[in-house]
Structures are given as structure tokens and as C-alpha cells.
């Protein structure tokens, strides 16, 4: 589904341009849950931002191919319409923007961008029924949907809303950037169930960026990649997570 080739990325700092990604290569297949792990500062969240089109990062070399199309320099909104979704580590609050209205506008905007045969725009009543079905799966009460976007939300509520967006917008590729951080065990279970239901739709791909093994106990990865100093150091099966839990990252660096 997506292929990242020799990606080099910099960000501007007070000291000048700082390289973060240094020739990263990664392929994700349709129907795959791929876990990306690595120590702080290795470039994991930078990769997520670059894939979504964060303008803070400058791509100096390499390319990103999504479903056969070069999307390296494509703007954020166009990437979203192509079927790419990013769940944030720290979602911002947007006072005055109603959740229900926000999701309906986003859903219809993506539907409008599709071919006539694929368009699935809904009326207000149809969308509200659909939205409640998705919210119920995540154990989100209906009154939650009439609040302003992330305003006054707890950390767990913000993360649940990110997964609600995922289920409503139904992208092809979901990038989950430390969605598990700050969650208690009940919230982690609910969010994991939502991601697993999303994967059951078939043909979906999930890239989970995480520091911890616990979410991968609920959402089983097909493959695990370890990122060190802006590159993929190694990729393996799910058992690689157990090795990290036991040994840390030092053994990979030594290799």
C-alpha cells in the first residue's frame, strides 16, 4: 500500500537545519498491522508527521509512494482524501467546533472527493445514526458528541475521539502515533477493540507507533520495525517485541 524510499528529512532549529530521518526505507502492505518502535528521538513521530504532510519538516531526498502514486509533496488535505489518517499524540482543543458537525463535514468532504460510483454522502439523520453506531462501539455516550472538539477532554477521552474519527472517516492507512500513551487499562482495551474492528473491514493498513508492548497484546502486529537514529535498523515478526522487552535497544545497536 505504501512504500517509503530513502527518505531524508530535516527540521529548522535555532542552530539551523537539523537532519532527523537519514535514508529511511519502509514498506507497508494492505491488510497489515505494522508496529514501529524505537527510543526517544529516533524519528518515529517525525515519520508520522511527514507521511501526513506536516509543513514543519523539509524532505531533502527520497519519496513516499501510496497506492502507486507519489505523494511526497502532496498537501495534508489531499492526503486525507486519498485515504491517509493520523491519530495525534496530543490532540489540540478547538473551542466552538461541535464534534458531530466536525465529523459530518469531514466525512462528506472525503465522500465528495471520490468518484461518482464511490460517493457515500449522508443526510444529517443518516449520519447521526451512523455516528452513534461507531460511538457505541467505543462506549462513547451521545452527549459527548455535542461537546466542542477536545475542549475539557481527559487524555483518555481525546484518544477515544481520535479512534472515533478513524472509524467514521474509514481511511485506507491509519497512522497511530502513541495512541496508547496515558491510557488506563479499560480505555486501552476499548481503543484496541476499535482498531481491531477497523481492520476487520479488510484491505486496511495500520502503522502503530509505540514505546510499549501492552497495546500490541491487544492489537497483534504482523511485523515490527525498530527505528534508530532516523533509519529502520531491523524488521521482524511480532516476537521482536518480546526481545525488546527483555533486552532493550542496545543489542540492535551493537549489531
**What are the pLDDT digits (tens) for 172-224?**
999 999 888 878 888 899 999 999 999 998 889 999 999 888 899 899 999 99
User: What pLDDT band is residue 254 in, cutting at 50, 70 and 90?
Assistant: very low
Calculate helix-pair angle for 185-199, 155-169, nearest 10 degrees.
10
The predicted structure's pLDDT at residue 184: 86
H helices then E strands: how many in the chain? 8, 12
Instruction: Supply the pLDDT for residue 213.
Output: 85
Separation of alpha carbons 104 and 28, rounded Å: 29
Distance between CA 22 and CA 10 in Å, rounded? 9
Q: Is the dihedral of CA 167, 170, 174, 177 positive or negative?
A: negative
Q: How far apart are CA 151 and CA 172, in angstroms?
A: 28
- Cα 203 to the chain's mean position, in Å? 16
Chain Cα centroid distance, residue 86: 4
pLDDT digits (tens, 9 = 90+) for 13-64: 888 899 999 999 999 999 999 999 988 888 999 999 999 999 999 999 999 9
According to CATH, what is the number of the domain 2-254?
3.40.50.300
Query: What's the confidence (pLDDT) of residue 207?
Result: 96
Torsion sign (Cα): 147, 151, 155, 161: positive
> pLDDT-based confidence at 255, cuts 50/70/90?
very low
Distances (CA, A) of 112 to 17, 104, 122, 134: 39, 12, 11, 21
Share of the chain above pLDDT 90, in %: 60
Task: For residue 112, give the 3-state DSSP assignment.
Answer: helix
**Residue range 13-24, pLDDT digits in tens:** 888 899 999 999
pLDDT for res 118: 57
Res 211: pLDDT: 85
Enter the pTM of the model.
Answer: 0.90
Amino acid at each position: 500500500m505504501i512504500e517509503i524510499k530513502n527518505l531524508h528529512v530535516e527540521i529548522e532549529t535555532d542552530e539551523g537545519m537539523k537532519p532527523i530521518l537519514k535514508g529511511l526505507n519502509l514498506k507497508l502492505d494492505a491488510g497489515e498491522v505494522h508496529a514501529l518502535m524505537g527510543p526517544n528521538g529516533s524519528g518515529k513521530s517525525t515519520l508520522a508527521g511527514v507521511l501526513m504532510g506536516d509543513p514543519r519538516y523539509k524532505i531533502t531526498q527520497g519519496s513516499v509512494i501510496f497506492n502507486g502514486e507519489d505523494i511526497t509533496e502532496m498537501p495534508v488535505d489531499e492526503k486525507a482524501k486519498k485515504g491517509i489518517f493520523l491519530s495525534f499524540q496530543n490532540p489540540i482543543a478547538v473551542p466552538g467546533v461541535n464534534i458531530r458537525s466536525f465529523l459530518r463535514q469531514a466525512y462528506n468532504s472525503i465522500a465528495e472527493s471520490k468518484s461518482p460510483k464511490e460517493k457515500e454522502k449522508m443526510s444529517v439523520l443518516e449520519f447521526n445514526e451512523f455516528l452513534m453506531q461507531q460511538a457505541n462501539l467505543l462506549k462513547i455516550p451521545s452527549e459527548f458528541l455535542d461537546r466542542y472538539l477536545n475542549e475539557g477532554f481527559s487524555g483518555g477521552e481525546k484518544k477515544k475521539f481520535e479512534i472515533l474519527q478513524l472509524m467514521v472517516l474509514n481511511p485506507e492507512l491509519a497512522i497511530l502515533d502513541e495512541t496508547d500513551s496515558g491510557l488506563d487499562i479499560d480505555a486501552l482495551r476499548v481503543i484496541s477493540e476499535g482498531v481491531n474492528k477497523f481492520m476487520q473491514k479488510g484491505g486496511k493498513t495500520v502503522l502503530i507507533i509505540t514505546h510499549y508492548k501492552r497495546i500490541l497484546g491487544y492489537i497483534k502486529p504482523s511485523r515490527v520495525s525498530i527505528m534508530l537514529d532516523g533509519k529502520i535498523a531491523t524488521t521482524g515478526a511480532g516476537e521482536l517485541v518480546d526481545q525488546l522487552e527483555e533486552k532493550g535497544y542496545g543489542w540492535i545497536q551493537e549489531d
